[in-house]
Structure 1
Amino acid sequence: MKYKILISMLFLMVGYTAVAQQVLPLYPDTIPGSTVKLSKEEEPTLTLYLPIKEKANGTAVLVIPGGAYGFLAFEEEGIAIGKAFAEKGIAAFVLKYRLPKKVTLRDKSYGPLMDAQQAMKVIRSNAVNWNLNPSKVGVIGYSAGGHLASTLGTHFSKNYIPNKDKISLRPDFMILVYPVISMNDQLTHMGSKINLLGMYPSKEKVDLFSNELQVTKETPPAYLTHCGDDNVVDVNNSIVFYQALQKNKVDAELHLFPKGNHGFTQRLPVSEWMEPMLTFIKKEGFYEFK
């Protein structure tokens, strides 16, 4: 009840007349999986960017920054992305998720996924307040944030958070930008793997979080983009995920560029990286240009 009141008060403060930034705590009270009380800086949050009424179209996107599960590239792969989507009429929710740390989590590998699932629950449960269509809620993730986004899109059948109202935790579409996909040593970004799973994870845990192995016919449609010369995250992460989507007859679009290295979208004009994404989700029925 306390959380619903907070949401309602926030909506009144934000209004619906301008792109607005507000920060919400992700959990109303107890933070699941945590073993210690988190500091204010460590607490997971959602930063909201709501589009102006004239542009709003009911579509929403959860924005997940990267950072190898060791830090968050919150400005360049979070705030900047949220603002860009809001300008296009899409409500954006930038996730500050818990970094996987043994000292704060019972099982550090599940902390980020818990927060991503909670974010989807918060967005959908407040769709009326934010004038959203709960059937047009997607996710975009960058680098290790792309791993978390693809985990959200392939592990939605199991609730890792309390969900008594059985709200769908499945994103309607995924946008994966130079993503880490696999935890396989030959493919993964080792820093992300070690930070998430530890130095010596079991084969079962490696397979579970190798998302190319978790694709089914129920996996959401996906847009992927990557550069062939990426020297941080191997481009084959995107390729194997695309192949898995194709094998399961899931709609997917893969944009590969020969050069640009890691983080290439940060160095391009917004229109160059955003328009293909919008075209894809429009074709999939989740977005209308205004």
Structure 2
Amino acid sequence: MKFKLLLVICWGLLVGCASSNDVADNINTAEPEIFNLYPGDIPGAKSTVNLEHVRDISHPDTFLMDITLPTLTAYWPEPAKANGTAVIICPGGGYAGVSIVKEGSQVAERFNQLGVTAFVLKYRMPLTQSMQDKSLGPLQDVQQAISLVRKNAQSWHIDADKVGIMGFSAGGHLTASAAVHFDNPVTAELAEHNIRPDFQILIYPVISFMDEITHKGSRDNLIGPAFSPEQSVYFSNERQVTDNTPPAFIVHAGDDTSVPVENSLVYYQALHRHQVPSQLLIVPDGGHGFGLRNNFDWFNDLERWLRNRGLLSHTNLLSNTL
């Protein structure tokens, strides 16, 4: 136990968080920068100790558990490559933790190769001991992240009209939730901010909380086993799609036994009904949780989709009104 506590303390010292009010204007560094997601007290949070810990310290794909202090880690592209597009990445982990390497930093570095500024969101886990309403805590964090990126778009050399979100597994559920609930801010502070993502990228996402196809672990962790019918519908994102839902790129493996591919299918069908431009890619195998490590390089298709939507072309940020 002492060793685990020491590890968590050392992790915090190594990453060192900057205040979101103290944003660095010099981004010509290849090193990631970590920002606190909130400038002060977290709205709706209870006073609690930092419960974050690493699930398996010997595993190279770091998995963080019980996150209570959310951060946003920025991965900057080379200035000559930067095109103004930004993506906020929500790693998965069943709303119990986040796979911060395989579905976070490695993906961010791949985006940097395209000139995209990538942010890895370490969002809070839904814990009753740290949140007044645990079901809304993660959604509040991703809405705050979108607002924070747009707020600092000029100093971070980002086009405020090219800010998207991406999520894996339960992080995909969080991403889709942000994409369908942007007109319903969790906190009053965000009511005057634009928190609509300009695009969404979903990789083997949990979408529905309906019994037939949901990932019950994610559902139970977020809203509990004794959820109401209203909660089930609210968090079944295929039920919340509108004509104004952002364009989507979706990837799922046909042989996924953890999160059935039907999650992506029902979401795509809802997007299609509302004429939301979307692309669905079903890869033949890979199961669940493969990140970038699939026999089929789906990221190449994502690059083509981003390029076709004009998201990889350079923007004259000096003329952009933010």
Short-chain TM bin: over 0.9
Q: Which residue of 2 aligns with 1:93?
A: 119
1:230/1:4 CA distance change after superposition, 3 Å: closer
1:282 correspondence with 2:293: no
**183-192 vs 256-265, which moves further:** 256-265
Q: Which runs of 5+ in 1 are unaligned?
A: none
Query: What do residues 31-84 of structure 1 show as CA deviations (whole Å, max 9, x unaligned)?
Result: 011112342842000001011111000000000000000111111111111111
Q: Which residue of 1 aligns with 2:102?
A: 76
Letter paired with 2:35 = L
TM-score normalised by L of structure 1:
0.93
Letter paired with 2:298 = W
Query: What do residues 90-119 of structure 1 show as CA deviations (whole Å, max 9, x unaligned)?
Result: 001100000001111111100000000000
TM-score normalised by L of structure 2:
0.84
8 Å contact from structure 1 (residues 16, 52) kept in 2 = no
Deviation at 1:152, TM superposition (A): 0.3
Q: Which residue of 1 aligns with 2:289?
A: 263
**69-78 vs 280-289, which moves further:** 280-289
Deviation at 1:4, TM superposition (A): 6.3
1:158 correspondence with 2:174: no
Letter paired with 2:22 = L
For 2:162 and 2:307, how far apart are their aligned partners in 1? 11
1:171 correspondence with 2:182: no
For 2:167 and 2:233, how far apart are their aligned partners in 1? 20
For 2:140 and 2:190, how far apart are their aligned partners in 1? 15
Deviation at 1:258, TM superposition (A): 2.0
Q: Which residue of 2 aligns with 1:31?
A: 42
**276-285 vs 22-31, which moves further:** 276-285
Q: Which residue of 1 aligns with 2:22?
A: 6
Q: Secondary structure at the match of 1:267?
A: coil
Q: Aligned to 2:250, which of 224, 227, 240?
A: 224
For 2:83 and 2:20, how far apart are their aligned partners in 1? 24
Letter paired with 1:19 = A
**Larger helix share, 1 or 2:** 1
Query: What do residues 193-246 of structure 1 show as CA deviations (whole Å, max 9, x unaligned)?
Result: 000010110000000000000000000000001011001100000000000000
1:65 correspondence with 2:76: no
How many percent of aligned residue pairs carry the same amino acid?
A: 41
8 Å contact from structure 1 (residues 140, 149) kept in 2 = yes
1:208/1:87 CA distance change after superposition, 3 Å: same
Q: Which residue of 2 aligns with 1:139?
A: 165
For 2:314 and 2:157, how far apart are their aligned partners in 1? 17
8 Å contact from structure 1 (residues 49, 83) kept in 2 = yes
Q: Secondary structure at the match of 1:224?
A: strand
8 Å contact from structure 2 (residues 82, 314) kept in 1 = no
Count of aligned positions: 283
8 Å contact from structure 1 (residues 265, 273) kept in 2 = no
Q: Which runs of 5+ in 2 are unaligned?
A: 1-17, 53-67, 316-322
1:184 correspondence with 2:210: yes
For 2:191 and 2:174, how far apart are their aligned partners in 1? 23
Q: Which residue of 2 aligns with 1:119?
A: 145
